[in-house]
Structure 1
Amino acid sequence: MTSPANPAQRARRLVLHLVCIVVGALIVVPVWFGVIGGFKDNGQLSTNPLGLPDPWVPGNYVEIFTAEVFWRNVGNSVLIAVASTFVVVAAAAMAAYVFARFAFRGREFLVTIFAIGLMFPFAVAILPLFILLRGMGLLDNPLGVILPQAAFGLPITIIILRQFFRTIPGEVEEAATLDGCGPFGFFWRVLLPMARPALATVSVLALVSSWNNFMLPLVVFTDQSWWTLPLGVQAFQGQYSDDTAKVLAYVVLSMIPALGFYAIAERQLIGGLSGSVKG
């Protein structure tokens, strides 16, 4: 039989539960306010901000769903997010494989250089980055957003994948070598399939980071036909500044794709992070 918890343990559990409830409320209440607020008019938002709409006003969501500019922004965000994720994961996987499975002089120094990249704020580089992109002719070009996002996503991606690759036993690589696999064959046929949780983790992180990126598309795109959803939200808010309910509906719809991808990959995401921490 287990001994009953002493008063100190009970107090600690109570405090932890209260903290969890408070943190959960801070997350759930704004989302609830946004989702429900999109079904209201401005009058209901003033008199009943957190209650159910009475009557329901689905026209806010319907009008956005039928707007061509919304779907153009969605398409731009999907294109840039998917391309950025593919570039950063592909490049980081190959670099992390070298850093994890090969011993050479200067390896730890190079890893440290990438780790230092985590402390380099994106906002500091925005001006020289703009000058560089202008010189390369990449303004109003999706590559002007895809390539910098991939570059700034490399440090965290390499660190996570390297730690996961190091957990793969050396016996697996030796067995693959005996079966005729070279270094690239082991990487492509053995290591990547075993690293699917870690790949899912870094893919989710890269996708959500690209999806929410506001500053870089704002600097690169002057042509509105290339605007992404964050820029679309800003423009929509300026256009309908007096219609808060419609703005809330637009914001909620812009969050759904990223939340849906995270919900699908949640199990792989947790497994990948756990594996990288253990490594």
Structure 2
Amino acid sequence: MSATSANSWLSSGADPDAPAGRRNPRDRPEKWGNPVTYFIALLFVAVCVAPVLYIVIGGFRTNSQITTNPAALPHPWVTTNYAGILKSTTFWGEFANSVIVALASTVGIVVLSLMVSFVIARYDFKLKGAMYSLFAAGLMFPLVIAITPLYIVIKDLGLIDNLLGVILPQIAFGLPTTVIILVPFLRAIPNEIEEAAAIDGSSRLGFFFRMVVPLSLPGVVTVGILAFIGSWNNYVLPLYILNSQANYTLPLGVQAFSSQYSSDTAKVLAFTSLAMLPALVFFSIFQKRIVGGLTGALKG
């Protein structure tokens, strides 16, 4: 085979040593999986997506359209429902409360869990295993179980009808999950890096901020996204703690709006879709980060 023909053969991606007429295995088209698997996956996707689409599209309809044909598309499309809600100061006030609670809870969960995980993963001390087991056991006790004693504690602290009374418990109940995820990330950091940092004169705090935080960033992003979405969608705790509508978060706002406009189904659907839209957009943008972070935790 000449040099020219060999170069053209290699540039085409074929194997020059392969017998004539035999195709490179890499040139073969990828086989599709079992059609039953795809059908089941599409079925699950449809079950999850269909209610969301119905709520969003329902906001573009009138009550008469919903009553006449609940499953039909809007004809004509109506934007007054969404426009009226977007002009409402009540909606934006509840939106601001949800943003404050979600951001404060996320920052508190990420900062505290990163510190606790660093100690558990990088230090040897008595009761280390018991401390880690305590956080693991916290996964078995959801917020609903402790809502009554938690309400009494918050009441004694004078935080009823206060956003801080929602933020602090969310931070406490968000720590177990984040610690379990972050500890494998911090354990995977080689000891040689810490020893080299110590030789360079870096303190333990310097090693934490300069090396640990950047190296564990995938896990930090993952737990931050999960904490934000969980806080945004939390309904039970604000229901018990917040009394005045001025302090309502969006999940409570949806309930109050549904009770107030129970006869206006289209407007209720519009309010509900706008309330859940930020969490859906946030999750859609960062879903790869979540999967990558959890994969790294499992490998660690």
TM over 0.5: yes
Q: What are the superposed Cα offsets for residues 18-43 of structure 1, whole Å, 9 maximum, x if unpaired?
A: 21011110111111111111100122
Q: CA deviation at 1:47?
A: 3.6
Compare 77-86 and 193-202 and name the one that shifted more. Answer: 193-202
Compare 107-116 and 171-180 and name the one that shifted more. Answer: 171-180
Q: 1:116 aligns with which of 137, 148, 165?
A: 137
CA–CA separation in structure 2 for the residues paired with 1:260 and 1:72: 20
Distance 1:50 1:179, change over 3 A: farther
Q: 1:138 aligns with which of 133, 150, 159?
A: 159
Q: 1:221 aligns with which of 242, 263, 266?
A: 242
The letter for the 1-side match of 2:55 is: G
Q: 2:187 aligns with which of 156, 166, 181?
A: 166
Q: CA deviation at 1:181?
A: 1.6
TM-score, with length taken from structure 2: 0.87
8 Å CA contact 1:32–1:50 kept in 2: the answer is no
The aligned residue for residue 152 of structure 1 is 173
CA–CA separation in structure 2 for the residues paired with 1:245 and 1:213: 24
Q: Number of aligned residue pairs: give it.
A: 273
Please tell me whether Structure 1 or Structure 2 has the larger radius of gyration of its CA atoms.
2
Q: What are the superposed Cα offsets for residues 144-172 of structure 1, whole Å, 9 maximum, x if unpaired?
A: 10000000000000010111111222222
Residue identity (%): 48
CA–CA separation in structure 1 for the residues paired with 2:232 and 2:145: 20
Which segments of structure 1 move beyond 3 Å, counting only runs of 4 or more?
Answer: 46-51
Q: CA deviation at 1:235?
A: 0.4
The aligned residue for residue 82 of structure 2 is 61
CA–CA separation in structure 2 for the residues paired with 1:230 and 1:261: 16
Q: CA deviation at 1:116?
A: 0.5
Please show how residues 1-279 of structure 1 align to structure 2 within 5 Å.
1=25, 13-279=34-300
Q: CA deviation at 1:183?
A: 1.3
Q: What are the superposed Cα offsets for residues 168-189 of structure 1, whole Å, 9 maximum, x if unpaired?
A: 2222222222222211111111
CA–CA separation in structure 1 for the residues paired with 2:53 and 2:202: 53
Compare 93-102 and 214-223 and name the one that shifted more. Answer: 214-223
The letter for the 2-side match of 1:254 is: A
CA–CA separation in structure 1 for the residues paired with 2:86 and 2:34: 45
- Secondary structure at the aligned position of 2:228 is classed as helix
Q: CA deviation at 1:51?
A: 3.6
Q: Which runs of 5+ in 2 are unaligned?
A: 1-24
Q: CA RMSD in A?
A: 1.7
